[in-house]
Copies of this chain bind each other. A is one copy, B any other.
Amino acid sequence: MKLDQKDIQILKLLQNNARLSNKEVAAELDIAPSTCHERLKRLTREGFFRAFNANLNLKKLDINVQVMVSVRLNKHEREVVNSFIKRTRTLKGVIKFYHMAGDTDFMIHIGVKDSEDLRSFILDKLANFSYIDHIETAMIFYDECVCNLSIFESEVLE
């Protein structure tokens, strides 16, 4: 499946503003709304979008502490790893979940109200999983979704 410039432009626009209307995207690309609609439908059908997420202003929700929790397990069989993922990804406060290669097995971006909630998250929820080898917590001052698609403007995929 080939992507041309227009397709890539659509992806980039929605990447940075997922609530743009079809009409707005069309205007940006300088094509007819119906044409744009066809392309957007095709991109969706072909699975170019994983999800559309609203990035919330956490401070307004009284979520004042964001941290990156790095976890190392002491067993790495598929079963143990899967069970960790299954159990952890649904915990309240989890924002983003990375499964890593290397020293650290998981990096979990979490957001909570205060340091008490953080303590409870780590001690009560994370640490009582049986195969934890190591947990390290680093505070996040500031995070940002940048989304600079690493595709050259001249590049066309097929």
Instruction: Tell me the A49-94 residues at the B interface (CB within 8 Å).
Output: 49-57, 60-63, 68, 89-94
Q: Is A29 an interface residue (CB 8 A)?
A: no
Nearest-CB residue, chain B, relative to A93 = B150
Number of copies of this chain that the complex holds: 2
Q: Is A16 an interface residue (CB 8 A)?
A: yes
- List of B residues within 8 angstroms of A61 by Cβ: 3, 11, 48, 149, 151, 157
Q: How far is the CA of A104 from the CA of B67 in the complex (A)?
A: 12
- List of B residues within 8 angstroms of A17 by Cβ: 51-52
Docked-complex contact B68 and A107, CB < 8 angstroms = yes
Q: A-side interface residues toward B, CB under 8 Å?
A: 3, 11, 14-19, 46-57, 60-63, 68, 89-104, 107, 109-113, 117, 138-152, 157
Q: Lowest 10 A-B CB distances belong to which pairs? A: A93-B150, A18-B52, A14-B54, A101-B139, A51-B55, A99-B142, A50-B55, A18-B18, A99-B141, A19-B52
